[in-house]
Amino acid sequence: MVIVMRSGATEQEIQEIVDLLHKTGLEAHVSRGEFRTVIGVIGDDELVLQVPFQAYPAVERVIPIMKPFKLASREFQDEPTVIRVGDVQLGGGTFVVIAGPCSVETEEQVVESARIAKRAGAKLFRGGAFKPRTSPYSFQGLGEEGLRLLARAREETGLPVVTEVLDVRDVDLVYRYADVLQVGARNMQNFLMLKELGKQDKPVLLKRGMSATVEEWLMAAEYILKEGNRKVVLCERGIKTFETGTRNTLDISSVPAVKNLSHLPVVVDPSHATGVSELVPPLCLAALAAGADGVMVEMHPRPREALCDGSQSLDPESFEAMMKEVTRLASYMGKV
Amino acid sequence: MVIVMRSGATEQEIQEIVDLLHKTGLEAHVSRGEFRTVIGVIGDDELVLQVPFQAYPAVERVIPIMKPFKLASREFQDEPTVIRVGDVQLGGGTFVVIAGPCSVETEEQVVESARIAKRAGAKLFRGGAFKPRTSPYSFQGLGEEGLRLLARAREETGLPVVTEVLDVRDVDLVYRYADVLQVGARNMQNFLMLKELGKQDKPVLLKRGMSATVEEWLMAAEYILKEGNRKVVLCERGIKTFETGTRNTLDISSVPAVKNLSHLPVVVDPSHATGVSELVPPLCLAALAAGADGVMVEMHPRPREALCDGSQSLDPESFEAMMKEVTRLASYMGKV
Amino acid sequence: MVIVMRSGATEQEIQEIVDLLHKTGLEAHVSRGEFRTVIGVIGDDELVLQVPFQAYPAVERVIPIMKPFKLASREFQDEPTVIRVGDVQLGGGTFVVIAGPCSVETEEQVVESARIAKRAGAKLFRGGAFKPRTSPYSFQGLGEEGLRLLARAREETGLPVVTEVLDVRDVDLVYRYADVLQVGARNMQNFLMLKELGKQDKPVLLKRGMSATVEEWLMAAEYILKEGNRKVVLCERGIKTFETGTRNTLDISSVPAVKNLSHLPVVVDPSHATGVSELVPPLCLAALAAGADGVMVEMHPRPREALCDGSQSLDPESFEAMMKEVTRLASYMGKV
Amino acid sequence: MVIVMRSGATEQEIQEIVDLLHKTGLEAHVSRGEFRTVIGVIGDDELVLQVPFQAYPAVERVIPIMKPFKLASREFQDEPTVIRVGDVQLGGGTFVVIAGPCSVETEEQVVESARIAKRAGAKLFRGGAFKPRTSPYSFQGLGEEGLRLLARAREETGLPVVTEVLDVRDVDLVYRYADVLQVGARNMQNFLMLKELGKQDKPVLLKRGMSATVEEWLMAAEYILKEGNRKVVLCERGIKTFETGTRNTLDISSVPAVKNLSHLPVVVDPSHATGVSELVPPLCLAALAAGADGVMVEMHPRPREALCDGSQSLDPESFEAMMKEVTRLASYMGKV
């Protein structure tokens, strides 16, 4: 940590900070410039975090030097984390397509979706039983019945199931049915839910919050890792910006940025990022080329009858066409 | 709702949409322009929401006309909602200062804070027992012990207590101690928690999410109102933008904008919006002048010892100076 | 400046940076922590700026310590800059209303607007002769004829004229007619125009760019100041965010933030910030309460006939009502 | 265009708008819903734009239906625009790498850069003679001398030159030396410069403004096209968001979105978008996979000596490695 003193800070004010550092068990390196004095702080980060330096009027700024996450960092673990879900390997050089409808509606719809997904080469099946909806008047999902239907789809196709835990009280319930527990963008900083998920032994797919920086996203992963669950998959799904042509803005740079900072696998969800089904296929290819470990896409056997997000769902034909391109490019890139 | 057909949509495609509308029980008004055909849809909104028009390739755009919130709207209720907490009136022409430390630390700290708040003219006391922290390594609050200390502070000063419910599982627990239940920015779209709070009979202070539009914020309020709890206070606390000089950007326009759209009271939290204690006093005055029903500010007896957000907390002296100015201006504006 | 070395940087890599600093004539203070080495750099900032430290792979981050602006800073000049335009004083404790139509349309319209402005107590008259329009198919302004009409309005009312220089080639032309030269948001980083304006002896009103941080805005002012023109008025006019209820988001915090950082006067333009005329009066009061030195508002004798931005223009009646409230509050606050 | 009347608008108010439409020569289709009346407007768009409907209090919202750009749209021209610069073809199925240093510094540096670019397979050479710099104290470019050095590099290598016009007064000067005239992000809405460039017969590379929507970007292109210059290449270079890990956020979705809306070629600049050289190679591949017609990257023979943006410039070795991957993938995708 570096503490920048205000211009005009007196010797006494500088000394007060140095004394405070020493008292806390930290080391202080003072650099006196013409206009500003800067204090380099050396020592245990957790000690550093506890001192509210900025409450001292003579302190202008406090600049953290260390990344605030540890277990999620490449410095803690350099080799990529590889997560196994049944036969599927996430991370470590594969490219996995997770596909399925936005929400579970009927047995027929969910089983048909899973079959289409499987046939086209998807490795995991997704579908929402609990739906976070902006409006209380919109369809909110089938709940446990939806989970049962997802399990049916798994029986039929063998595809492991990814589904969202919307409420911390449902962790156990969802655990019983799902293979991968998804944290939605709105829950990325639901820290108590993250802690619960950190106690589970199934993988967690952690969506990036709509207003979360990459660093905050990795801090959210840290909450899960810290509790002992090391199977975290990150999912970029677009951030809020002023652009209105797409629902959110897919931050493709976050893929190589995360790869530089962390060992965790990262997948991309272009369906939620854009809300426009036509943009999904080129963005899946872009995600693959940028180094992502997979994509998660919405597909519906009959988008015109979808109860949720029909306009961002691929129909079976477009989905299959996309899968061909993705599979070919992945194989060309040696990511299978 | 207005449906804009793609340029080049055929008569048959247009008819398909019209038929679909009729089948759903809706009325269709077709306007054929030179380049685009537009269909005005008349009928029950909830019916309209169920049809995924955008899944039809001939549909270019679907434009909602109605505000998606109802109970929160001025059209539903024109006179301002007035909420009573003990002797305090929120909404309907008063200006209420809610003050207190970011987090509850010790009995001495919390009781002293409450006394300072009371003496300077604050009407409600705030303090966090459960703290949402970006880092799992930061202080997370005292939990129930913190709630007990808040109750102690109320006993000592008579100030009603506003405190955050961080976890849906703690609604009952917090209810037992608090006078106003606060929903933090990160939980604004925790829809299941909103539903639980909608079943309580105590007021809810609903912070705006960091990436929520005013409309999404009012939709979150709608979740609470719909369950029967009409005592919702909105709290503007800054949105995420590219500006890095302040932690978030206080959206002051949201105050008159909310007043135009809704009957609910709205208060402003300049401490969290900016993260800079020096900016808090001028922004409290601005909030008052813009028509807010109150402000919520962080104050700590000794910011240098605060375990949380010391740099945005006012010290007692600055707090008292600010309260004088605010009280004078409120009284000049006839808002007491 | 502080240089943070990557974890794992070797002694040799650290020494390479230290040698580079010495060679450039700078002093280096090395703090070796457990995980990172940090180098504090002392010396002439302009020297520091010239060295591309980040091109060295062993360098993780370079953190500037000094504010990058000088002449605009409170450290350079602590007392507030006061700018005189005729009898009008901008900065130093007054509150000035600048009012007028978005664009100059006809002699009748502009003279009538100026009379309404004057009568209600505005001190400066604004109007656009050159209009930056997103669409090439929209009205682009009357050009020099518009400037002549503004001068007519000044003759009639005595109000000094503020008008925009849209093209660097028009600086001389606009100079001949205007009392204050306005730089629009889209030109805030038109550095060559800023330099030309820095050579003029008339005040410059510098609007904040829609995507400019406060620091970038002050850097733009620095371009003007550096050429010798010290009469710069800053104008906050909203920044681009995800919120769609208003055209832009008025960053009210920028007013006290600028006051902390700089001696330059700052005014607020709520008309362009929001694009909604009903929000203008409460936001003018908020700007005054937050410490602004004035506001700039759009007003049109007959908004329904405006060729530009009719929906954000106040009509004469609303304008006069607002002026009464603003004048009263300004007088209460001792700002006349 | 669709006009939404406020709830409670009277028959007379609705009739007033209908009459106004008829008077302007437009057709009105009125749909009366239970809560709102909606008026569909049919007729010449340019007429529609002239009427300030929103200045009527009974009007709640005006919703444009037509895209505001014409010449840039797929509806105007469906086949992709192909631009030839010497032997190079931009648009229509090729993938072109534009490479070179941020700024022209010395003859040796620029000629060496061009040779590296050429050898590795770049098709166009870029370099700045006029540099827009946030700080007036930073290096501002060599000016005309820089243009001469770029021409020297072209002589040596045969690579056509792309360089920025920073000032409208320099259009003729830059025209004499450059093959492609670049408009920087800060000038995207410098409408008078766009008009000048619209009168030239050389291609224009139009960077997206940091706060411009895709629609505003296409409107800027429209300014150039409208004056007669149909050779416009769009360049995505990142938008301003809250994410601080990269300088801006590369909006990769804008590539397929532009392809859907417009016939103009689009290239991607990951160097300016991120400011981090390590992110450039994966993002070049992503741009290619997403359907871009090319990329523009910064490369410097010795980044550690660069006078500008050294930290985002690739060194020759990384550049060559990237070019191999890009060339291979482009060839695999049939884009040569």
Confidence of residue C193 (pLDDT cuts 50, 70, 90): very high
User: Which residues in chain A (55-74) have CB-CB distances under 8 A to chain B?
Assistant: 55-56, 68-69
**Mean of the per-residue pLDDT values of chain A:** 93
Find tokens 């370079």 and name the residue.
C62
Spell out which residues of chain A touch residue B187, defining contact as CB-CB under 8 Å.
190
Whether the pLDDT of residue D235 is over 80: the answer is yes
The one-letter amino acid code at A76 reads: F
Q: To probe the interface with C, which of B218, B243, B255 has the most C CB atoms within 10 Å?
A: B243
Q: What percent of chain B has a predicted confidence (pLDDT) above 70?
A: 99
Confidence of residue B42 (pLDDT cuts 50, 70, 90): confident
Residues facing D233 on adjacent strands: D205
Spell out which residues of chain C touch residue A38, defining contact as CB-CB under 8 Å.
2, 29, 40, 65
Whether the pLDDT of residue C35 is over 90: the answer is no
Mean pLDDT of D60-67: 81
The token duo for B116 is: 């300072």
Q: Does A177 touch chain B (CB under 8 A)?
A: no
The pLDDT score that the predictor gives to residue C44 is: 72
Interatomic CA distance for residues A162 and A126, integer angstroms? 5
Confidence of residue B138 (pLDDT cuts 50, 70, 90): confident
- Chains interfacing with D (3 or more CB pairs < 8 Å): A, B, C
Confidence of residue B60 (pLDDT cuts 50, 70, 90): confident
Size of interface C-D (CB pairs under 8 A): 115
0.90 exceeded by pTM: yes
B29 neighbors B39 (Cβ within 8 angstroms): yes
Whether the pLDDT of residue B8 is over 90: the answer is no
Q: To probe the interface with A, which of D95, D219, D253, D318 has the most A CB atoms within 10 Å?
A: D253
The pLDDT score that the predictor gives to residue A147 is: 97
Find tokens 């390479």 and name the residue.
C16
Question: Is residue A123 helix, strand or coil?
Answer: coil
DSSP label at residue D129 = S
Interatomic CA distance for residues C97 and A156, integer angstroms? 72
Determine the number of helices (DSSP H) and then strands (DSSP E) in chain D.
Answer: 11, 14
The token duo for C302 is: 């007959």
The pLDDT score that the predictor gives to residue C45 is: 67
Residues facing B83 on adjacent strands: B90
Residues facing A275 on adjacent strands: none
Q: Does B93 touch chain D (CB under 8 A)?
A: no
- Chains interfacing with C (3 or more CB pairs < 8 Å): A, B, D
Closest CA to A134 of B214, C244, B220: B220
Interatomic CA distance for residues A88 and C123, integer angstroms? 72
A118 neighbors A159 (Cβ within 8 angstroms): yes
Mean pLDDT of B157-164: 98
**Mean of the per-residue pLDDT values of chain B:** 93
In terms of DSSP bridges, do strands B180-183 and B204-207 run parallel, antiparallel, or are they unpaired? parallel
Whether the pLDDT of residue C307 is over 80: the answer is no
- Taking residue C86's Cβ as centre, other Cβ atoms within 10 Å add up to 12
Question: Is residue C132 helix, strand or coil?
Answer: coil
Phi, psi of C25 (to 5 degrees): 90, 25
Question: Is residue C315 helix, strand or coil?
Answer: coil
Q: What is the dihedral of CA C167, C169, C175, C176, to 10 degrees?
A: -120
Confidence of residue D310 (pLDDT cuts 50, 70, 90): low
Q: Which of D139, D210, D310 sits opposite C54 (nearest CB)?
A: D310
CA angle B67, B72, B78 (to 5 degrees): 100
Q: Does A331 touch chain C (CB under 8 A)?
A: no
Find all residues with CB under 8 Å of D52, minimum gap 6, and list them.
Answer: C303, C304, C305, C306, C307, C309, C310, C311
Mean pLDDT of D120-142: 92
- Taking residue B5's Cβ as centre, other Cβ atoms within 10 Å add up to 23
- Taking residue D8's Cβ as centre, other Cβ atoms within 10 Å add up to 10
Lowest mean pLDDT among A68-77, A244-253, C204-213: A68-77
Interatomic CA distance for residues B241 and A217, integer angstroms? 17
Closest CA to A263 of A92, A133, A78: A78
CATH of the structural domain C83-332, one choice from 3.20.20.70, 3.40.50.970, 3.40.50.920, 3.40.30.10: 3.20.20.70
The pLDDT score that the predictor gives to residue A250 is: 98
Between the alpha carbon of residue A331 and those of residues A96, D285, D324, the distances in Å are 12, 15, 18
Residues facing D205 on adjacent strands: D182, D233
Region C2-63: CATH code: 3.30.70.1140
Q: What percent of chain A has a predicted confidence (pLDDT) above 90?
A: 75
In terms of DSSP bridges, do strands A124-126 and A96-100 run parallel, antiparallel, or are they unpaired? parallel
- Taking residue B331's Cβ as centre, other Cβ atoms within 10 Å add up to 11
Question: Is residue A138 helix, strand or coil?
Answer: coil
Q: Does D223 touch chain C (CB under 8 A)?
A: yes
CA–centroid distance for A172 within its chain: 21
Whether the pLDDT of residue C231 is over 70: the answer is yes
Find all residues with CB under 8 Å of C88, minimum gap 6, and list them.
Answer: C94, C96, C123, C124, C160
Chain C residue at shortest CA distance from D187: C190
Whether the pLDDT of residue B54 is over 80: the answer is no
**With b meaning 16 or more CB within 10 Å and e meaning fewer, what string describes A221-236?**
bbbbbbbebbbbbbbb
Phi, psi of B106 (to 5 degrees): -140, 165
Between the alpha carbon of residue B178 and those of residues B185, B291, D143, the distances in Å are 19, 27, 67
Lowest mean pLDDT among A20-34, D96-110, D294-308: A20-34
Chain A residue at shortest CA distance from C63: A63
When comparing pLDDT for D298 and B136, which is higher? D298
Question: Is residue B307 helix, strand or coil?
Answer: coil
Mean pLDDT of C16-44: 85
The one-letter amino acid code at A13 reads: E
Spell out which residues of chain D touch residue B63, defining contact as CB-CB under 8 Å.
2, 63
Mean pLDDT of C31-60: 79
Chain D residue at shortest CA distance from C69: D135
In terms of DSSP bridges, do strands D37-42 and D27-32 run parallel, antiparallel, or are they unpaired? antiparallel
Q: Does C241 touch chain B (CB under 8 A)?
A: yes
Q: Which of C186, C307, C310 sits opposite D54 (nearest CB)?
A: C310
The DSSP element (H or E) to which C49 belongs, if any, is helix C45-49
Mean pLDDT of C117-125: 98
Q: What is the pLDDT of residues A176-203, one digit of tens each?
A: 999 999 999 999 999 999 999 999 999 9
Confidence of residue D24 (pLDDT cuts 50, 70, 90): confident
- What are the residue ranges spanned by the domains of chain A? 2-63, 83-332
Mean pLDDT of B188-197: 96
Confidence of residue D63 (pLDDT cuts 50, 70, 90): confident
Strands (E), chain C: 2-5, 27-32, 37-42, 59-63, 83-85, 88-90, 96-100, 124-126, 161-164, 180-183, 204-207, 232-236, 266-268, 294-298
Confidence of residue D67 (pLDDT cuts 50, 70, 90): confident
Q: What is the pLDDT of residues B270-308, one digit of tens each?
A: 999 999 999 999 999 999 999 999 999 999 999 888 777
The one-letter amino acid code at B126 reads: R
Mean pLDDT of D298-326: 89
Q: What is the dihedral of CA A300, A301, A302, A305, to 10 degrees?
A: -60
User: What sign has the CA pseudo-torsion B227, B232, B237, B239?
Assistant: positive
Whether the pLDDT of residue D45 is over 70: the answer is no
The one-letter amino acid code at A83 reads: I
Mean pLDDT of D242-250: 96
Lowest mean pLDDT among A247-261, A298-312, B156-170, C224-238: A298-312
The pLDDT score that the predictor gives to residue C336 is: 80
Whether the pLDDT of residue B41 is over 90: the answer is no
**With b meaning 16 or more CB within 10 Å and e meaning fewer, what string describes A150-175?**
bbebbebbebbbbbbbbbbebeebbb
Q: Say if the Cβ atoms of A283 and D253 lie within 8 Å.
A: yes
Q: To probe the interface with D, which of C76, C103, C109, C167 has the most D CB atoms within 10 Å?
A: C167
DSSP label at residue D52 = -
Q: What is the pLDDT of residues A272-298, one digit of tens each?
A: 999 999 999 999 999 999 999 999 999
Between the alpha carbon of residue C3 and those of residues B91, C64, D276, the distances in Å are 51, 9, 16
Distance (Å) from the alpha carbon of C336 to chain D's nearest alpha carbon: 32
Whether the pLDDT of residue C29 is over 80: the answer is yes
Mean pLDDT of A135-162: 94
C232 neighbors C259 (Cβ within 8 angstroms): no
The token duo for C276 is: 């909604």
Mean pLDDT of C189-195: 96
Lowest mean pLDDT among A295-304, A309-318, B69-78: A309-318
Strands (E), B6-102: 27-32, 37-42, 59-63, 83-85, 88-90, 96-100
Confidence of residue D48 (pLDDT cuts 50, 70, 90): confident
Confidence of residue B7 (pLDDT cuts 50, 70, 90): confident
**With b meaning 16 or more CB within 10 Å and e meaning fewer, what string describes C187-223?**
bbbbbbbbbbbbebebbbbbbbbbbbbbbbbbbbbbb
Whether the pLDDT of residue C6 is over 90: the answer is no
The token duo for D220 is: 């800027």
Closest CA to D238 of C251, A267, A249, A185: A249
The pLDDT score that the predictor gives to residue D62 is: 84
Q: Say if the Cβ atoms of B7 and D75 lie within 8 Å.
A: yes
The pLDDT score that the predictor gives to residue C33 is: 76
The pLDDT score that the predictor gives to residue D51 is: 76
Chain D residue at shortest CA distance from B8: D75
Whether the pLDDT of residue B95 is over 70: the answer is yes
Interatomic CA distance for residues C23 and C51, integer angstroms? 11
Q: To probe the interface with C, which of B95, B249, B253 has the most C CB atoms within 10 Å?
A: B253
Mean pLDDT of C183-190: 97
The tally of CA atoms less than 13 A away on the side-chain side of residue C115 is 9
- Give the 3-state secondary structure percentages of chain C, helix then strand then coil, rounded to 5: 40, 20, 40
Question: What number is the ipTM of this complex?
Answer: 0.93
